[in-house]
Amino acid sequence: MKSSKITLIFITCLLCFSPLVSALTVVVKEEAPYVGNELPNKGLSIDIINTAFARAGYQANVVFETWPRAYEGGLIGIYDVIGSIWKTKEREKNFVFSDAYLFHEIKFVKRKKDIDIKYSNISDLDSLIIGTLKHYAYQDEFTSSRTFIKLSQNHLIQNLLFLTQEKIDMTLGDIRKIRYEINKYMKSSMKNLEFLPQALTKKGVHIAVSKSNKHHAEIIGKFNKAIQSMKRDGTYNAIIKKHDNFL
């Protein structure tokens, strides 16, 4: 009897002093090479998110959804966290955002032989035909300009093919995404294409938690601290390097 009491006390103490791991449902839209069920560790973004949340004492359960469902589900609390999202003033009305844990660098890509095509400001694009994506938030001045032709498609690979076929002068997008698409679908064309040095814009990638979630400040705060810790000890850069090696 005495032994049983001692065992019970010991187990109780373990429960009291063991860190509790909370489960979070993280919703994301598939977008290689950042997010994808078939990618190593489900992609660069998910690898960073999972590592950060584990360090912060959370278990992240990743769910893949279309963007409208991911956004709405995060807003009304079906999901705890939206795992990859750009911050806007409109979205800040309903969500609390983490610090940027990644950056999407949006650059132009052209044929190497077209040496006269350069970019330092919007006026350099005058009279060019540029492949764009429908409903993509590039940059206000670029989107509103009427001095060049925007040929919109649904998928990046369509613009890249049009570029190699000389149907457009340039296209643009996130540099990792472009490298991934070229490497996967048209590797032989890689030697004929190049990025222009200057980016059109650079967008931070965040996690977001609905303000209706009473734990939003705690989740975001712990995530930010974990990312800072990962950067200090080299974990963050090691994850970036590992995934960039796949491109």
pLDDT, one tens digit per residue, over 111-169 is 999 999 999 999 999 999 999 999 888 989 999 999 999 999 999 999 999 999 999 99
- Rounded mean pLDDT, 222-239: 98
- Residue 2, pLDDT score: 46
Does pTM surpass 0.95? no
- Using CB atoms within 10 Å of the CB of residue 159, give its burial: 0 to 12 exposed, 13 to 18 middle, 19+ buried: buried
Q: Is 79 exposed, middle or buried (0-12, 13-18, 19+ CB in 10 A)?
A: buried
Those residues whose C-beta lies under 8 Å from the C-beta of residue 146, and which sit 6 or more positions away, are none
> Quick one: what percent of the chain has pLDDT higher than 90?
87
Question: C-alpha distances in angstroms, 34 versus 29, 37, 41, 151?
Answer: 10, 10, 10, 25
pLDDT at residue 194 above 80? Answer: yes
Least confident of 20-29, 35-44, 170-179, 219-228: 20-29
Domain 20-103+204-244 has CATH 3.40.50.10600: no
CA 169-111-86 angle, to 5 degrees, is 70
pLDDT of residue 20: 54
Q: In the structure, what pLDDT confidence band is assigned to residue 51 with cuts at 50, 70 and 90?
A: very high
Long-range CB contacts (within 8 A, 24+) of 150-156: 156/181
The whole-number pLDDT of residue 144 equals: 95
Q: 222 forms bridges with which residues in the sheet?
A: none
- 16: pLDDT strictly greater than 70: no
Please determine, for residue 12, whether its predicted confidence score (pLDDT) is greater than 60.
no
Q: What pLDDT is recorded for position 19?
A: 47
Cis bond upstream, residue 33 (ω within 30): yes
Tokens 């997008």 -> residue: 173
214/78 Cα distance (integer angstroms): 14
- Region class of 142: left (phi > 0), else alpha (psi between -120 and 50), else beta: alpha
Identify the CATH number of the domain defined by range 105-202: 3.40.190.10
Percentage of the chain with pLDDT > 70? 91
Domain-by-domain residue ranges, the chain? Answer: 20-103+204-244, 105-202
Which pLDDT belongs to residue 21? 62
Sign of the torsion angle spanned by Cα atoms 131, 133, 137, 140? positive
Q: Given this chain, do its domains 20-103+204-244 and 105-202 carry the same CATH topology? A: yes
Angle of helix 44-55 relative to helix 235-244, nearest 10 degrees, comes to: 160
Q: Tell me the pLDDT of the chain averaged across its residues.
A: 92
Q: In terms of Cα–Cα distance, which of 90, 92, 93, 66 is closest to 79?
A: 66
Instruction: Map tokens 């429908």 to a residue.
Output: 134
